[in-house]
Structure 1
Amino acid sequence: MESQLIPIIIQLISGAVGGNIAGAAKSLSLGTAGNTVAGGIGGILLSQLLPLLTNGSLDSTMSGAIGHIAGGGIGGIVLTAIVGLIKNAVASKA
């Protein structure tokens, strides 16, 4: 159980950091809590989907923790940026 939980925690934390990095751009910011939550979710999603999208080919090039950190961080950045852009588009129409 612990060995399955540690990668998810790593993905969540690196995603939250990535979300806050993306939120540093004022046009994409969701606020600190929003950046953290969106980033954490994005980090877990991308890290879980990455092996499926690449047919496991990244397993040989990126070792365990480094792959979880990179996937989580990038996922956090991407999801926070997408949600920030949608939020701005909706706000500009209102």
Structure 2
Amino acid sequence: MSVLTDILVQAVAGAIGGNAVARSSKNLDLGPLGNTISGALGGGLGGQLLGSLIPALAGAAASGNFDIATVLGQAAGGGVTGAIVTAAVSMIKKRLIG
């Protein structure tokens, strides 16, 4: 798999994670577009960071082989980091704006 494919999987999973955390707590809601953007950015960037810290997530991508376990790992990492970034951005926004 290519790096672009990895980032796309992580960004989509991040957008899903961002929207999921916003639905679970209305205090963390940035609106549909805000949740999606912050989740996608968090998923894409956070997923790449996790991939560099946990070599097993980047192993199949480096070899060029498609591995469903790696894709699921990237999706999980992207979803979690997307949710975390969305929650963090929401909390920062609420502190700054009120």
The equivalent of 1:87 in structure 2 is: 93
The equivalent of 1:10 in structure 2 is: 9
RMSD: 2.0
Q: Secondary structure at the match of 1:9?
A: helix
> How far is the alpha carbon of 1:6 from its aligned partner?
1.6
Percent identity (aligned)? 40
The equivalent of 2:36 in structure 1 is: 36
Q: Relative to 1, partners in 2 of residues 1:57 and 1:11: Cα closer, same or farther, differing over 3 Å?
A: closer
The equivalent of 1:64 in structure 2 is: 70
TM-score (ref. length: structure 1): 0.83
TM-score (ref. length: structure 2): 0.80
Which structure 1 segments of 5+ residues have no match? none
- Runs of at least 4 residues off by over 4 Å: 57-60
The equivalent of 1:76 in structure 2 is: 82
> How far is the alpha carbon of 1:45 from its aligned partner?
1.3
Q: Secondary structure at the match of 2:19?
A: helix
Which structure 2 segments of 5+ residues have no match? 60-67
> How far is the alpha carbon of 1:26 from its aligned partner?
1.0
Asked if the contact 2:11–2:40 (Cα under 8 Å) also holds between the matched residues in 1, the reply is yes
Whole-angstrom distance in 1 between the partners of 2:8 and 2:71: 11
The equivalent of 1:52 in structure 2 is: 52
